Amino acid sequence: MQKKEDYRYLGYLASTHFTIHVFTMLLPVLLLPFRDELGISLVQLSLLSSIPRLINVIIYIPTGIISDRYPSRVLTLSFVLTVLGAFTIPLSNNFTMLLLGFTLLTIGSTFYHPPSLRMASEYSKEKISLAMGIHNMGSSLGFAAGPLLLGLMLNSQGWRPTFYLWGFLTIIMVVVSWLYTKNLKGSGASLKEFKLKSGFETILTKDYLMVVAMSTLVESVFNIIVTFLPIYFTDELGMSYSLTSIVSGVAPLAGIIGSFTGGWAGDRFGRYKMGILVLISSTILMIVFPTIRGLYIVLGVYAVYRLLQAAYMPLMNTMIAGHSSPINISLCFSFNFVAVNLFSSLTTTGASILIESQKTPVIFPLAVIGFIPCIILIYALRRTKKAQEFS
C-alpha cells in the first residue's frame, strides 16, 4: 500500500468512526434534561440505552455474515440509518419517539463496526494495533465533539439543533463512504452459500471465547462509567447540565492521545502486556476517584481515565482479531458485539437500580469488580500458544 493511499485508508477509518460516535455521548449527558422535560424515571431512561442494545443482539450476527461478503454496502447503509436516527430524535416529544431515534442510531453503529474493524485488521499485519488505534482516534474525537457542541448550544438553543447539525454531516458521509468503499471486496458469496455450522466452528474456540468474555466485562464497565458519570458530576459534585456536557466532551480528547499511544505501544511492547497494565491503572483510578472532591483534580483524573479507556480499545480489538478466523473476521467481531450488548444492556439497567437505592458512587466499586477478572483473562490468553503466535 502506497503512503498516500495509507493516509486515505486510515483517514477513512478515523473520519467515519468520528461521525458514528458524535452521537454516542449525547445520551448520557441528556439523561437528566430528558428526565426534567419528559418527567420519566431514571430506570425508564436507562431503557434508551438497554433496549437498542437488546435489538442489536438479534441483528449483529446477520450483520457480521453479510459484512464479510458485502462490506461496502453495509458501511454505506450504516450512515443512512444514522441519518434517520439523527433527525428522528430532535423531532421527538415523547419517550417512544426518543427510543426509536436512539435505536436507529444504535443499529447504524451496529452496521458500521464489523466491516470497519475488518478494514482496520486488514491494513497491515505488523501494524494492526496502530491501525486499530487510529480507527479509535476517530471515535475519541467523536466522543468529545458531540457533548462539546451540545454544551455550547444547550443554554441558548436547547439540545435539538445539535442533532440536526450532526445529521447533515452524516448525510455527507453517506456519499463519502459509498465512493471510497464501492470497490472494496468481500467474499462475494450470497447469504444462502454461507455454511452456518462451519462458520460458527471458526469462532467457537476456547481462546476466542476467553477473549470475548474479557471484552464483554471490560465494555460493560466502560459503558456503566460513561453512562452514569455525568450524573455523578451533577448530583454529587453540583455541576450544571451545561458544564457537565462540556466536561464530558473535553475529557475524551485525551482519548485521541490514548488511542494512538495504545495502538503504538501494543505493536511495540505487546498487546497483552499493555492490556494488563492499562486495566491495572484503570482499577487504581476507580478506587481513587470517589475520594476526590477538588473540581480540577476530579477533571484531571477523569481525563486520565478516558485516556486509559481509549488506549485499551485498540489493544482489545487487536486481541479479538488475533483470535478470530481471517475468513469470518466480521462475524467474529459481531459475535463479540452480541455478547457485549446483551451483557451491557443488563448491567446498565442493573446499575441504574443500584444508583437509585445506593446513589451514584456505587459505580466505582462495580468497575473494580469488573476489571479484576479481565486482568486474569488477559494473563491467561497471553500464555496460550495462539497468543504467543500473535504477540
The pLDDT value recorded for residue 127 is 84
The pLDDT value recorded for residue 2 is 57
Q: Which conformational region is residue 158 in: left (phi greater than 0), alpha (psi within -120 to 50 degrees), or beta?
A: left
The pLDDT value recorded for residue 391 is 45
C-alpha distance across the termini of the chain, in Å: 23
Blockwise average pLDDT, block size 10, the chain, 391 residues: 74 93 85 77 76 82 85 93 95 87 93 90 82 89 86 83 94 93 63 50 76 93 86 82 74 83 91 94 93 82 89 92 79 84 81 86 92 93 61 45
The pLDDT value recorded for residue 168 is 95
Closest CA to 115 of 78, 79, 53, 68: 68
Q: Which domains does the chain have, with CATH numbers?
A: 3-390 (1.20.1250.20)
Residue pair 215/315 in contact by the 8 Å Cβ criterion: no
| Buried-state track 239-250, b at ≥16 Cβ within 10 A, e below 16 | bebbbbbbbbbb
The pLDDT value recorded for residue 284 is 95
Q: How far apart are CA 246 and CA 146, in angstroms?
A: 9
- CA–CA distance from 111 to each of 42, 59, 235 (Å)? 28, 9, 35
